[in-house]
Structure 1
């Protein structure tokens, strides 16, 4: 495969991740405004429309390149797939708790707040549940590496359809998401071939197919069929396929380049956007007589994304770059060959 095609493969992946991280931040921004006002916004329908594929796409893409890493020795694998995510989870759990602690202490007391923090080390907490589950999925895939992939996928699908609601986020989200992560790993060659086929297809044909899918997805969401067990998995897969096609046709465009940038920095955005989204929402809602609620949602969304990117840029190379760069002290016994490597930046997932 030539270098241009290799680059295209990476480009659409970055665009898809960028698109999905914006959808995730938009969801949180919109739900925050709706909670504060007690009323839905004009964005509510769009948020629901994207629900079938928003997180499935993120997890599926996270598994796309696992085949090149899964056969690594356990120590190196655990370092890059567990210790790596655990470091950023604990750092940002602590930061988010520090922001919320005064209000939590006032409402529930210091002991309950401390217990909530300690529980967050075991029970995935807040917006950080995504990176917690990624570590779990990478370990699960490694443990099942010798099992037939079709059987693993079938088991994951059965767990998905069982849809346990235990109240324990680790169990519930594993059941709801692992099938997509494993699909990304197992079906990666097929997915890349599909993306190549889209790239070679007439733009008008792909665009028409996307419009048709968007309409059908909207109808399925509106009547609840998109979330009906037995059908929801396939609706999600269709949505992921649409995101891949959408990302491929955006490669040569400036929106595509902007989304690719967000995609390359998606984990930085995911970690830091709550720091800026909340304050921006408070300010935007104070302008309620001037701007509508949906605009307040977009303002807080934009503040979350742009603020996270600016923060990552500002701290780079400073004493605070541990926010987005794992120091060597927090790696698992590096080998002699890697002893002198620099601190590890947040990787592209």
Structure 2
């Protein structure tokens, strides 16, 4: 790896395999929350538990690596424009969806503990991310860090990030813990972008070898997970990196297939899914468990996962089609701190 490993200077507006990879990631994230929620409510495990466990080493590493993939294209922008796109953008959606999610959770807290407890939870959420929104909260922190260290030697920053991940810091606070655990992958996406794109191209050109490599990786990853060694220092870093690159290769293999279109569609709107999946997930889980129509925990988990992905996509489609409630997924101009002349590119900032 060299310091010049960056994303191509003129990539396509959207790269098909990147959206497919993001689609795979967001499905795995929803699957994890859905499955663990169902299992907690049911007091039992189902077959989906094994899929969640298998994906644990690489589920979030791949998401963060892809988040850093195109960072080189914007890292040298002036601070005002950079902060608008990489900080204020995500802060808007975090605060908005914090209030939306809180509207479903805080009334119960108010009844049990009083209004002061709600205020305390809201203020705490400003420094310790609320619920499933931690990914949105952490991204701006990573982007600001990358901007600050952009002139530092790549090997020094990446080595520092690898050390942080290997230390497996647990303070009990989400921000420092996840910053240390995920920084390496954001930087890997940034510094290694050109190499990652070459891996995707190679995978497409050597499908047989890629399939063989993916099979070997799956065996090693599965063996490490179910042997209980996947979280050991050094092992977690190796599995996270290998798994993230495996998803890149798999996405490149299937990106041209019609069957991959749902994943591409979901990946292009992955942040919208991430913001909104909690409600259809929780509602479907409650209905299925209380009704008792389906007894198998695994099948309940699978159905809840599907609802958690399809529900937000349907909401996003309805909002963008009707024009009603677009503020849910499109940051209004009033919440921009950079005000360039309007253009087709800058007029809307979708949450994807």
Q: Does 1:270 align with 2:278?
A: no
TM-score by length of 2: 0.93
1:342: Cα distance to partner? 2.8
Corresponding residue number in structure 2 for 1:82: 87
- Does the CA contact (< 8 Å) of 1:12 and 1:251 recur in 2? yes
Q: Structure 1, residues 6-33: CA drift from partner, whole Å, max 9, x if none?
A: 6698111111100010000000000110
Q: Does 1:155 align with 2:160?
A: yes
Corresponding residue number in structure 1 for 2:172: 167
- Does the CA contact (< 8 Å) of 1:128 and 1:271 recur in 2? yes
- Does the CA contact (< 8 Å) of 1:9 and 1:192 recur in 2? no
Q: Structure 1, residues 294-325: CA drift from partner, whole Å, max 9, x if none?
A: 11111111111111011111122534110001
- Does the CA contact (< 8 Å) of 1:149 and 1:186 recur in 2? yes
Corresponding residue number in structure 1 for 2:3: none
Residues 56 and 326 (structure 1), Cα distance of their counterparts in 2 relative to 1, 3 Å cut: same
**Residue in structure 2 matching 1:238, options 238, 242, 253:** 242
Unmatched 5+ stretches in structure 2: 1-9
- Does the CA contact (< 8 Å) of 2:31 and 2:302 recur in 1? yes
Q: Structure 1, residues 187-243: CA drift from partner, whole Å, max 9, x if none?
A: 111111111111110x23222221221111111101122111122101111111211
RMSD in angstroms over aligned alpha carbons?
2.0
- Give aligned pairs, total: 343
Unmatched 5+ stretches in structure 1: none
Corresponding residue number in structure 2 for 1:19: 24
**Residue in structure 1 matching 2:284, options 274, 280, 298:** 280
Partners of 1:7 and 1:324 in 2: how far apart? 23
Corresponding residue number in structure 2 for 1:249: 253
| 1:23-172 correspondence runs (5 A) | 23-172=28-177
TM-score by length of 1: 0.94
- Does the CA contact (< 8 Å) of 1:49 and 1:218 recur in 2? yes
Residues 185 and 37 (structure 1), Cα distance of their counterparts in 2 relative to 1, 3 Å cut: same
1:108: Cα distance to partner? 2.2
Q: Structure 1, residues 53-90: CA drift from partner, whole Å, max 9, x if none?
A: 00000000000000010000000000000000000000
Q: Does 1:197 align with 2:198?
A: no
